[in-house]
Amino acid sequence: MSTPHTALEAVTHRRFMASAWPWRAVAYLLTTGPVAAVVAVPMVLLGLPWAILLRRVVTWHDPPLVELAFLLLGGSLLIAGIGPLVALPTAALERRRLGLIDTRPTRSGHRPAPASPPLAWLRVRYTEAATWRALCYAILLVGAVPVWYGAVLILLVVIAVAMAGPFLVDGHDAVSLGLGTVSTVSEALPWALFGLTLLPAVPYLLAATAGAHAAVGRLLLSATADTDLRAELTAVARSRVRLVDAFEAERRRIERDLHDGAQQRLVSLTLQLGLARVDLPDDSPAGQAVAGAHEQAKLLMAELRELIHGIRPQTLTELGLPGALQELADQAPIPVRVRADLPARPPPGVESVVYFVAAEALTNVFKHSRAATATVTAVAEDGVLIVEVLDDGQGGAEPARGTGLTGLADRVAVADGRMLLSSPPGGPTLIRVEIPCVDRPTDPSSSRRGRRAPA
């Protein structure tokens, strides 16, 4: 059989009595009393208006409704306003105590909150469900647990008294055993046998009581499935942001190394071949070989320049997104108008995504839409960079047709953005990209310094 993780699972195992689970259950039950007593002091004080309200309802035949409403509202405000400050440390202690009776890891369902200022901490704590679940647990710990444990304790006392019955009677006076009275040993003996019969069940009873209490505590005090899912989604989103930043840094490093290393050496080689070509006769074998090498070097330099431009355009690095979009418009085979109103420069990763999305969208316009003109608009609204590519073509664009729209949407999604498409038959076609970004002040020299910064 598998190893039990909780007391409720342990009671179903054959080796329960030989394991440490009965003692762990006893330790959990014994430590519950002091915790409940300490928590009861502030919780009872907070619930005094409700106690007074109950007393007035019981003792008065016609109590004033205004006073009753005042007591009800006052008690509710005290419990809701100050109760969480008592419940939160109680919940933290109870999550630790769960380790006595539940070996599974217990994680808090609270969100990270700033330590200061205090108002920020209170705002986070009072607006999450985990705090109110902890308050419910504190109320149950003070109100229901003593009754529950008291019933179990009474049962244990009855069993103990029944077992001790033969030693309590003196043959003359009647002795109450809780379930009946006896006066002789012969009368007490059946009760003693009854208590001995129930004695082996006591560890199971204690373990079941502690296990049920722990199950309620885990339900109210640990992270729920929704909380775990939100935490996992948050972790995935943060890791995706880190990956995007890492890819962008690596892209800039490769572009910088190619631009400042390989391209400069290739330029120097091309110049040297050009000088050697001048010094050699054109019809000589050496001159023809150098001329061929010179032409190949120039072609290779053009290809390398295109490769660097594809990794990260130099215009985007130096002039930012408006300049890069204008360069795309200048190279377009049809008239393209650019309207860019960006009061601050977006982060480099967002700039790259928007640029390549705009470039791919314009490529689709040139290849598929049969448009005569196009417009590219880039604006920033409430921390969101919005880019629209509009053309007057034939429309009917669909991602299923393989026009690259799915790839564009995936690239935007990586940057935590979204892409919207409107392309009715007959046109026009509008692609709208919305990407959240944190603006940073534009510095004319920052782009050049950014290219020299280490990746």
Question: Is pLDDT above 80 for 289?
Answer: yes
Q: Average pLDDT, whole number, for the chain?
A: 80
- In the predicted model, is pLDDT for residue 396 greater than 60? yes
Q: What counts of helices (H) and strands (E) characterise the chain?
A: 17, 7
Tokens standing for residue 308? 């660097």
CA distance 159 to 154: 9
Integer CA distances (angstroms), 261 to 256, 266, 270, 277, 451, in order? 8, 9, 14, 24, 13
Q: Using CA atoms, how far apart are residues 197 and 152, in angstroms rounded to an integer?
A: 17
Q: What is the pTM of this model?
A: 0.53
User: pLDDT digits over 332-391, tens only?
Assistant: 888 989 998 888 888 877 888 888 888 888 888 888 888 889 999 998 888 888 899 999
Token pair listed for 376: 């590219």
pLDDT at residue 250, as a whole number: 65
pLDDT exceeds cutoff 70 at 243? no
Residue 241 pLDDT greater than 50, yes or no: yes
Percent pLDDT > 90 in the chain is: 20
Given this model, what pLDDT does residue 48 score? 83
Three-class DSSP category at 176: strand
Task: Output the pLDDT for position 448.
Answer: 35
Name which of 258, 453, 259, 247 is nearest 353 in CA terms.
Answer: 247
Q: What is the pLDDT of residue 454?
A: 30
Q: Which residue has the higher pLDDT, 119 or 317?
A: 119
In the CATH scheme, what is the code of domain 315-444? 3.30.565.10
Is 9:215 a contact under the CB 8 Å cutoff?
no
**DSSP-derived secondary structure letter, 172:** S
Q: For 390-453, give the DSSP string.
A: EE-S-----GGGTSSHHHHHHHHHHTT-EEEEE--TT--EEEEEEEE---B---TTHHHHHHHS
Using DSSP's 3-state secondary structure scheme, residue 333 falls into coil
Exposed e or buried b per residue across 212-247, where buried means at least 16 C-beta atoms within 10 angstroms of its C-beta? ebbbbbbebbbbeeebeeeeeeeeeeeeeeeebeee
| pLDDT score of 25 | 93
Q: Would you state the pLDDT for residue 74? A: 77
Whether the per-residue pLDDT at 211 is higher than 90: the answer is yes
Q: 441 pLDDT band (50/70/90 cuts)?
A: very low
pLDDT at 442 over 50: no
300 has pLDDT over 70: yes
Asked if 441 contacts 344 with a C-beta cutoff of 8 angstroms, the reply is yes
Distance CA 212, CA 207 (A): 8
Give the pLDDT score at 58. Answer: 67
pLDDT tens digits along 411-425:
788 777 888 888 888
- At residue 175 the predicted structure's pLDDT band, cuts being 50, 70 and 90, is confident
- Would you state the pLDDT for residue 274? 79
* pLDDT score of 439: 44
Give pLDDT, residue 244: 61
Coil, helix or strand at residue 266 = helix
Q: Does the pLDDT at position 50 exceed 80?
A: no
Which of 196 and 369 is assigned the larger pLDDT?
196
Return the minimum-mean-pLDDT range out of 31-35, 143-147, 246-250: 246-250
Q: For residue range 64-89, what is the model confidence (pLDDT) as tens digits?
A: 676 667 777 877 888 888 999 999 99
Q: What is the mean pLDDT of residues 319-330?
A: 85
For residues 140 and 409, the model is more confident at 140
Interatomic CA distance for residues 236 and 256, integer angstroms: 30
Higher pLDDT, 316 or 29: 29
What pLDDT score was predicted for residue 240? 61
What percentage of the chain exceeds 70 in pLDDT? Answer: 80
The pLDDT-based confidence of 146 (bands split at 50, 70, 90) is very high
Is the pLDDT score of 222 beyond 50? Answer: yes
**Which of 256 and 220 is assigned the larger pLDDT?**
220
In angstroms, the CA 264 to CA 277 distance is 20
Residue 135: its pLDDT value, please?
93
Q: What angle do CA 448, 451, 455 make, to 5 degrees?
A: 150
